[in-house]
């Protein structure tokens, strides 16, 4: 069955970087995009962007351009989202999701990233 399993919770200092992984299985990795969505505590969903697992094309929401890098490693069917220059406002649960055109039925369990001094 399709699974997306994310890396564990992280605690970071302001100004640091974080890299969240999304290990996938149960499907042909390069047939789908990997989307990233985040959710601050008690808040709604925020779309961050996507990466085409087949050719590496990417699209980031303008808010995150310059601070976010999405990558994939097709050899281990894993997607990554790295964010730099973290601030407390980046404290959130970060989700990966599989899809074509939009996040679909299969999501990771979420990774809590806490930014605090």
Which residues are at the interface with other proteins (CB under 8 A)?
Answer: 37, 44-47, 49, 59, 61-62, 95, 97, 101-105, 107-110
- Residue nearer to other proteins on the CB measure, 44 or 117: 44
Minimum distance, C-beta of residue 3 to other proteins, in the bound complex (Å):
12
- The token pair that represents 36 in the structure block: 């990233």
- Residue nearer to other proteins on the CB measure, 10 or 46: 46
DSSP state, 90? G
- Residue nearer to other proteins on the CB measure, 76 or 102: 102
Minimum distance, C-beta of residue 20 to other proteins, in the bound complex (Å):
14
Minimum distance, C-beta of residue 49 to other proteins, in the bound complex (Å):
8
Minimum distance, C-beta of residue 59 to other proteins, in the bound complex (Å):
6
Write the burial class of residue 107 (CB in 10 Å: 0-12 exposed, 13-18 middle, 19+ buried): middle
- Residue nearer to other proteins on the CB measure, 71 or 107: 107
Give how far Cα 106 sits from Cα of 17, 86, 109, 110, Å.
27, 27, 10, 12
Report the length, in residues, of the chain. 117
């Amino acid at each position: 069955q399709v699974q997306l399993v994310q890396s564990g919770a992280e605690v970071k200092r302001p100004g640091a970087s974080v890299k969240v992984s999304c290990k996938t299985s149960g499907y042909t990795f390069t047939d789908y995009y990997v989307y990233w969505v985040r959710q601050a505590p008690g808040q709604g969903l925020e779309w961050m962007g996507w990466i085409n697992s087949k050719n590496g094309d990417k699209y980031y929401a303008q808010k995150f351009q310059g601070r976010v890098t999405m990558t994939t490693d097709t050899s281990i069917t894993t997607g990554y989202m790295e964010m730099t220059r973290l601030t407390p406002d980046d404290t959130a649960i970060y989700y990966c999701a599989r899809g074509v055109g939009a996040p679909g039925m299969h999501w990771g369990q979420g990774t809590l990233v806490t930014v605090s001094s």
